[in-house]
Structure 1
Amino acid sequence: MMKKNDIVEVEIVDLSHEGLGVAKVDGLVFFVENALPGEMISMRVLKVNKKIGYGKVEERLTSSPERNEAIDVAYLRSGIADLGHLKYEAQLAFKTKQVKDSLYKIAGIKDMEVPLTLGMDQPFAYRNKAQVPVRRVHGQLETGFFRKNSHDLMPIEDFYIQHPEIDQVIVAVRDLLRRFDLKPYDEKEKSGLIRNIIVRRGHYTGEIMVVFVTTRPKIFRIEQVIELLVAQFPQISSIMQNINDRDTNVIFGPDFRLLYGKEYICDQMLGTTFEISAPSFYQVNTEMAEKLYQTAIEFADVKSDDIVVDAYSGIGTIGLSFAKHVKAVYGVEVVPQAVENSQRNAALNGITNAHYVCDSAEKAMANWVKEGIKANVIVVDPPRKGLTESFIKASSQMNPDKIVYVSCNVATLARDLTLYQELGYQLSNIQPVDLFPQTHHVECVGLLVKERSDGE
């Protein structure tokens, strides 16, 4: 029987959906970081139970031709770029296979043509947002990233997948915090002031927002910090403070304060301008989000008299992109601030045919059905956990011709498809899109079409 610290020679035969190498030994399945299919490795057993185990590469005996040798292992260890050791073309093929496998294993769909994942020409330095913890390491304030599955901070200056200007702002903030001796948060002691630094940057506008997450309201000598920071980066147009005194992994507390400039930055997506506030959801890869939404619009194939429902509407990014092509858009979002954002974003772009309510998607759908609002197209972009059964039923009761499903988790998409199939909606088209190059995540757009009986 295998035990911890045993060393065995194994072949990596597959990649798990999280990008870990898969090896099979003595009827056990082992998952190994930084190992690729076809590689022979000497593996140290880290953990083992009845069916599965975890190992690490003690020595790589052969290398896959698809291995990217140039990646810094820090990016793999922190999970920043957990697929960065795989060449980019192979990453796209891996993501396409993920989608295919999930559709087959979970939804029983086997003859669906899944095109190659849409990728980027430059698949790094793409993120328009950073959320970076601030901690003390060896007696010094550091910014960086937590090592995978831990709360040990790895100091990092170049995050590889973030826009370089965001990395520069983080380093400048770190140096100013050190200079003015502002205390980093200590999770064990529940002491210190600065918990996190969040930086957002408009892809097209270059406008930058900095958010200081602190344990209490007062920040000693913050005026001097701001003055020096803005002098170094004149494109900073918003500096916010968020107060979070709870013992939690959630980054933001409920209380936001404006320290400098305005409470939002602006950016464009598909030619529409958006105001983005500190807590609002905005896709982190603008270039690929445009391709994602463009695909959704093409799949929907809308006409000028169509009515579109935008469920999980956020700050309006998808719905407002549709608005110029259709008669009306009805959006629903559960976050009140995001609903205000979407209404302002509609006004900002002179869009008068988009209407937003603050509610759960299920309740709003049921109300609209009662009010006699009939959507031809429903667009859904749910969080990772996918749709609820009650939402799926409510959306099919509206009887739209098409449902466009934008998914950031193909497993929950496939699960939801099984219920839609029972309600008479079939997947007719799917396109994976790489919004998160160098990581194992894949987004996709699926088109569900109502089966019509001959009488309809």
Structure 2
Amino acid sequence: MKKDDTLDLEIIKYATEGKGIARIDRNIIKPVQDAQPQESNEKNYVVFVQGAYPGDKVTAQLRKIKKSYAEAVIVKIISPSKDRVEPRCKFFGTCGGCKQQDLNYQTQLKFKQELVRETFEHIAGLKDFDFEEIIPSENNFFYRNKMEFSFADKRWLTKEEIGSEDVIDKDFALGLHIPRIFDKVLDINECFLQSEMSNEILNFTRKFFKGKNASIYSTKTHVGYLRNLVIRQSQNTDDLMVNLVTSKEDDALVKEYTSELLKVVPQITTVINNINKKKASVAVGDYEKVYHGEGFIYDKIVDYNFRISANSFFQTNTLQAENLYKTAMEFAELKGDEIIYNLYSGAETMA
């Protein structure tokens, strides 16, 4: 068989990042050179299938063929795994924000636990070690305290948009990148990762700057104004930050944007403009200007308050960060006379 050929597969195991594993006879894919393929029941060749889960029976298209494995994508699900669920988001499968939204959450935890165990056994060579159960996230949706959206002057069109008779602006997008495509963005109007308020900010920002005919920074020509919209929302306080990342200053425009945005979402506590003059596609400015509030927000983990700036590192799932740190403290069994180094920790939440 060769690239783009299809074959029917039964998924028996989970890999990582939304890939299922099937095993087949090597002769089916790549017969031994200078020899006639022979009948064999030995399934000694691995096929990684993007978007497939154990229990699926699928028709898959080969995208990459290597000596010891192949990569494929689903063309058709012949019979689905019992663990599949209906994804909540209409952009799932196209957007790169979520990998397993169509898989039961408890099953996700089980697969992740198996992957961690195999890592310790096969890579670290450990055996007979204690293995704790994963602590599940309390929220499956609206759990992130930070979302980073991108502007693009090339909009990725979905299959529905391509087949639509509606007039679509292909030169303005605000949303999330398509996996492995750096210059196109999927224009989204709702996301279930942060909050409904975040969606309001996202949609207002798009409408405002399109209405102003604001230019979008191009990663190819390095010309244009708008780069990113970053929203940080505290989980344990009422603080809410909007950070507009641009390639240059436009004081009058950002002041008007701030004023109009606060009318729509008055809960916003600070608005910042990061000015990024570098060519690299990063949502971090060389400097920043504050247009509303103090220029930072506060959030709380366990009994401690943390001041978070626009470019601070802070664990994106606040509630799970609390579980992580509580567990680390329990395991550490600290007595109070130890010296602890808090390195590479962003806002120093561990200390």
Give the TM-score band, short-chain normalised: 0.7 to 0.9
SS in 2 for 1:259: strand
1:201 aligns with 2:233: yes
The corresponding residue for 1:20 is 19
The corresponding residue for 1:274 is 306
Question: 1:47 deviation in Å?
Answer: 2.4
SS in 2 for 1:236: coil
Answer 1 or 2: which has greater helix percent. Answer: 1
Structure 1 residue runs without a partner (length 5+): 320-456
SS in 1 for 2:219: coil
1:107 aligns with 2:100: no
The corresponding residue for 2:78 is 61
Letter in 2 for 1:39: D
1:38 aligns with 2:70: no
1:238 aligns with 2:270: yes
1:187 aligns with 2:219: yes
Question: 1:162 deviation in Å?
Answer: 1.7
Letter in 1 for 2:177: F
Matches of 2:2 and 2:67, distance apart in 1: 11
1:131 aligns with 2:163: no
Matches of 2:291 and 2:202, distance apart in 1: 17
| 2:217 and 2:223 in contact (8 A); partners too | yes
The corresponding residue for 2:195 is 163
1:370-409 correspondence runs (5 A): none
Structure 2 residue runs without a partner (length 5+): 27-44, 156-168
The TM-score with structure 2 as length reference comes to 0.85
Select between 21-30 and 201-210 the one with higher mean Cα deviation.
21-30
| 2:245 and 2:284 in contact (8 A); partners too | yes
SS in 1 for 2:259: helix
1:358-437 correspondence runs (5 A): none
Select between 20-29 and 92-101 the one with higher mean Cα deviation.
20-29
| 2:83 and 2:104 in contact (8 A); partners too | yes
Matches of 2:63 and 2:90, distance apart in 1: 19
1:58-97 correspondence runs (5 A): 58-72=75-89, 74-97=91-114
| 1:96 and 1:115 in contact (8 A); partners too | no
The corresponding residue for 1:227 is 259
| 1:34 and 1:85 in contact (8 A); partners too | no
The count of residues paired between Structure 1 and Structure 2 equals 318
| 2:87 and 2:101 in contact (8 A); partners too | no
Matches of 1:67 and 1:170, distance apart in 2: 30
Letter in 1 for 2:23: K
Query: Residues 317-346 of structure 1, C-alpha deviation per residue, up to 9 Å, x if partnerless?
Result: 110xxxxxxxxxxxxxxxxxxxxxxxxxxx
| 2:197 and 2:265 in contact (8 A); partners too | no
Select between 208-217 and 297-306 the one with higher mean Cα deviation.
297-306
Question: 1:140 deviation in Å?
Answer: 4.8
Matches of 1:221 and 1:155, distance apart in 2: 22
SS in 2 for 1:44: strand
| 1:143 and 1:155 in contact (8 A); partners too | yes
Letter in 1 for 2:64: K
| 2:228 and 2:244 in contact (8 A); partners too | yes
SS in 2 for 1:157: coil
Matches of 2:209 and 2:248, distance apart in 1: 16
Letter in 1 for 2:325: Y
Which one has more relative contact order, counting CA pairs under 8 Å at least 6 apart?
Answer: 1
| 1:7 and 1:45 in contact (8 A); partners too | yes
Matches of 1:58 and 1:34, distance apart in 2: 10
Matches of 1:198 and 1:279, distance apart in 2: 10
Select between 164-173 and 283-292 the one with higher mean Cα deviation.
164-173
The corresponding residue for 1:285 is 317
Question: 1:186 deviation in Å?
Answer: 2.3
Distance 1:139 1:18, change over 3 A: closer
Give the root-mean-square deviation of aligned CA atoms: 1.8
Question: 1:87 deviation in Å?
Answer: 0.3
The corresponding residue for 2:178 is 147
The TM-score with structure 1 as length reference comes to 0.66
Question: 1:220 deviation in Å?
Answer: 5.1
Question: 1:53 deviation in Å?
Answer: 2.2
SS in 1 for 2:306: strand
| 1:213 and 1:243 in contact (8 A); partners too | yes
Counterpart among 315, 318, 326 of residue 350 in structure 2: 318
Matches of 2:178 and 2:288, distance apart in 1: 28
Question: 1:30 deviation in Å?
Answer: 2.1
Matches of 1:83 and 1:194, distance apart in 2: 31
Query: Residues 1-35 of structure 1, C-alpha deviation per residue, up to 9 Å, x if partnerless?
Result: x2122111111121112231122334242222211
Matches of 1:70 and 1:214, distance apart in 2: 33
SS in 2 for 1:216: coil
Report percent identity of matched pairs. 29
